[in-house]
Chains A and B, each alone.
Chain A
Amino acid sequence: MIKQILISDPTLRDGNHAVAHQLSAKQIAIYAEAANDAGVPIVEVGHGNGLGASSMQVGLSLEDDVTMLETARKYLSKSKLGIHVIPGFATIKRDLGRALDIGVDVVRIASHCTEADITQRHLGFVRERGKEAYGVLMMSHMASASVLVEEAQKMELYGAEGIIIMDSAGAYLPGDVAEKISALVNGLKVPVGFHAHNNLGLAIANSIVAVESGAKILDGTARGFGAGAGNAQLEVLVAVLERMNYITGIDLYKILDASDIAEKEIMPMIPVIKSESIISGLSGVFSGFAKHVARISKEYGVDQRDVYRELGKRKVVGGQEDIIIEVVMDLIKNRK
């Protein structure tokens, strides 16, 4: 049976992590137009940590949410405009309502993988407004398959039309993906999705394992532009899925063109798997920490790899960026 895979492209959201949230409105316009032309179903836009997240703690974005969303909206006629929303960063009245007024079509409400409870009101609000609402479980490597199913079932009850698990740290091996996606497909009514990171060079392989295990939604970014070692490389993903007779609705040549445009226009450098990214993945640390860890480690003269190991031991999650400095100080103290 021919199987349709829904592709969501967070180049303009996860990619914002890779440039410390400094994507400009012009860059957003250029890539949104190219992705739209290629027929990418969902183009996700915003600060790396999502709507309302621009802050001193996780990084100030160059453009505000309204500018980013209004700009993208102008260039997305075929593609749906998506946003990533973490309750706590984004409030319902101030941020979410305004985003929907601008014309956001798809909202992905995210929480740490064991805290789905915090998504209820946000998911409900999006459904009440008649928009598409998905649930996202971040840092999913930190929970067992059975816990993920329980948390995902909560999101399903809250109104999520699909559940995406994120390998936010790029920590998964293919067997982990197969186990967790299969459990979710069995335990849920709604479609399951997977968002990969490439710390261990497995983003594409893991994404394919996910669809072979029953996932119907995949995330991918142009050239893998995203936090840390980057995401699943979208143009490769589309090509491989096409070879395997999956349908994405994306024009291969045009997504190759869009990726070339993205490389030229929005990327200071193409994501590569740096040495510290491998340690980050092995330690299970959120990829969004990469810029902060690199900067603080350099400033205090400590080895990034030691910082990642320690952050991994402490099981830190997105939003706890302030612990990086604490870890660095402890490493210096222990060195003395």
Chain B
Amino acid sequence: MTEIKTNLIFEDCRRSCTDNEFLVLKDQSVLVTGGTGFVGKWIAEMISYVNETYDLNIKLYLLARDIQKFKDEVPHLTQKSFINLIAQDVRNIHDLPEDINYIVHAAGSPDNRDHVSQPLKTIETFYKGTHSILDAASRLQELKKIIHISSHQVYGRNDSESCIREDYLGKLEANSINHTYAESKRIAETLCSIYRSQLRLPILVIRPFAFIGPYQDLEKPWAINNFMRDAILGGPIRILGNVDTIRSYLYASDMAFWILKALVKGQVGESYNIGGSEAISLANLAKKIGNSINNSIDILSKSSKESYNYLSKLVPDTNKIITELGVKETHTLDASINRTILWNQLNRK
């Protein structure tokens, strides 16, 4: 990776790191499953930053099936001595390094193309993967905390206009292939509750909403990614479906910092939303992205219907995590978009 890009990421981490209350992590070992994905890479970047800045000597294990891809994509991280790569399928874990103190269980793809194409594998990965990691964790003598990365999809359909709180109970249609991922994440959360209750494992749950930032593939089937991809290609930006759909986005380095804070201060048994608070319609998001590159980029809307009787609004209520963990958003949506576009443009060069 070029120096400009590593500097950009270092600067992002510096801006997101709003306090240095990480002493409990000093000389500790952290395992991240799904460690070579978007979340894993950013946790590695953030730990790299806090290690260098605060001399914490955190040891990081990144567990994933394909570590070669990680080596190819982020050689600057691979070279760091505090990072240890473990090539293993999360569904088949038996023994973990004994010195592990903290686990972030982030394995499994959030890509909904995979969920509809391979629904059985999706359920198997989340169920067996979570079962396997918790089982192995129960044998660790020095374990202090586990964060299970769940999904906002466990909330089901949001029928209200409000932001979604952690105690919201939405509906899910069980007899539908479209909810494979959501149901998988629900059963994984239930497994966490069982291990916490029956084996007293110190588990808490994080429920991510939408993120944006470097390392996120613009080909992923999410509106903001595709808008940026279209804009970088010169347009037009194509909005598919309801232009009034509401979303919000948290910048990647903020996400990584918030997860580290959850390792330090998160309460066992609790669940926390993690996401951006700035709600925006897809129509306005497309305009914003278009303007950030070139004011003359066309925006096209393609929709099956002229009007919709249901407005999809997925915006988290983040009061709990902000209040209890002392985190804050350090990148505005405009800044998040600009930095992500810049990073992707550098990537294409």
Neighbour of B113 across the interface among A157, A161, A189, A191, CB < 8 A: A157
In the complex, per-residue mask of A109-136: 1 if CB is within 8 Å of any chain B CB, else 0: 0000000010010001001111000000
Chain A positions within 8 Å of B240 at CB level: 156, 161, 189-190
With contacts A130-B234, A153-B178, A189-B242 taken as known, whether A161 is within 8 angstroms of B302 at the C-beta atoms is yes
Tell me the B278-310 residues at the A interface (CB within 8 Å): 302-306
A158 within 8 A of B: yes
Q: Please determine whether A159 and B304 come into contact, CB atoms closer than 8 angstroms.
A: no
Assess whether A130 is in contact with B113, with CB atoms less than 8 Å apart: no
Whether the pair B117, A185 counts as a contact (CB closer than 8 A) is no
Contact B304 A154 (CB under 8 A): no
**What are the residues of chain B within 8 A of A191 when measuring CB–CB?**
302-304
Known: A154-B117, A157-B113. A127 touches B219 (CB 8 A): yes
Chain A residues with CB under 8 A of B229: 127-128, 130
Does A188 sit at the interface, judged by CB under 8 A? yes
A124–B229 alpha-carbon span in the complex (Å) = 12
Q: From B235, which residue of chain A is reached at the shortest CB distance?
A: A130
Please measure, in the bound complex, the distance between the C-alpha atom of A159 and the C-alpha atom of B226, giving whole angstroms: 9
Chain A 202-237, CB-CB to B under 8 Å as 1, else 0, gives 000000000000101000000000000000000000
19 more A-B residue pairs beyond the given contacts A120-B113, A127-B226, A190-B304, with a C-beta to C-beta distance below 8 A: A127-B229, A128-B229, A130-B229, A130-B234, A153-B116, A153-B178, A154-B113, A157-B116, A159-B221, A161-B238, A161-B240, A162-B302, A185-B304, A189-B240, A189-B242, A189-B304, A190-B302, A214-B304, A214-B305
- A7 contacts the other chain (CB 8 A): no
Name the B residues within 8 Å of A129 (CB-CB): 233
A1 contacts partner chain B, Cβ-Cβ < 8 Å: yes
Q: Is A176 an interface residue (CB 8 A)?
A: no
**A192, B116: Cβ atoms under 8 Å?**
no
Q: Identify A192's interface contact among B221, B304, B306, CB under 8 A.
A: B304
Instruction: Decide: B234 and A157 in contact? CB cutoff 8 A.
Output: no
How long is the Cα–Cα vector from A188 to B240 in the complex, in angstroms? 10
Bound Cα distance A117, B241 (Å):
21
Chain A 119-175 residues near chain B, CB threshold 8 A: 120, 124, 127-130, 150, 153-154, 156-159, 161-162
A184 part of interface (Cβ distance < 8 Å): yes
Q: CA separation between A159 and B229, bound complex, in Å?
A: 12
B242 and A158: CB pair below 8 A? no
Most buried by B among A127, A129, A153, A185: A127
CA distance A283 to B303 in the complex (A): 34
Q: How far is the CA of A81 from the CA of B104 in the complex (A)?
A: 49
Most chain B CB atoms below 10 A, which of A124, A154, A185:
A154
Query: B6 interface residue, CB < 8 Å from A?
Result: no
B23 within 8 A of A: no
Ordered nearest first, which 6 A-B pairs have the shortest CB separation? Answer: A189-B241, A130-B233, A188-B304, A154-B116, A185-B304, A157-B113
Q: Which A residues, 1 to 34, have Cβ-Cβ distances below 8 Å to chain B?
A: 1
Report chain B residues within 8 Å CB of A154.
113, 116-117
Chain A residues with CB under 8 A of B303: 189-191
